Amino acid sequence: MTENNSLEKKLGVWGKDKIVREDGKTYAKDFYCVECYSKKKEVPADSFFPVFDPDIPVHPYCQKHIDEIKVSLILDTIDEHWAG
Ligand SMILES: [Zn+2]
């Protein structure tokens, strides 16, 4: 095994590191998925979620966790529908 760390892209931890690119924007791909990171796994995020409501704070997530959140949101909506 050779020392490969210098080639590795350094990602930030959401809420701790502030990574802004030259164009002044923040990209999800510059951060770890907050859900994976909470489980001590360092997985690059794919995009911010949710993006449909500016009042809800967004976090960077990997695609797997975005899919999981979307499924749970749909199930919640169905539950509310049948409960109401
Ligand atoms: Zn994740």
CB 27 within 8 Å of CB 21: yes
Q: Could you give phi then psi for residue 64, rounded to 5 degrees? A: -60, -45
Distance 2 CA to ligand 1 centre (A): 28
Q: Parse the chain into domains and list their residue ranges.
A: 11-83
Distance 1 CA to ligand 1 centre (A): 27
Q: How do residues 5-63 score in pLDDT, each as one tens digit? A: 554 568 999 999 999 999 999 999 999 999 999 999 999 999 999 877 778 789 999 99
Distance 73 CA to ligand 1 centre (A): 16
Q: Taking the CB of residue 27, how many other CB atoms lie within 10 A of it? A: 14
Checking if the pLDDT of 2 tops 60, the result is: no
Prediction pTM value: 0.77
* Structure tokens belonging to residue 13: 């931890």
Neighbours of ion ligand 1 (CB under 5 A): 33, 35-36, 62, 65
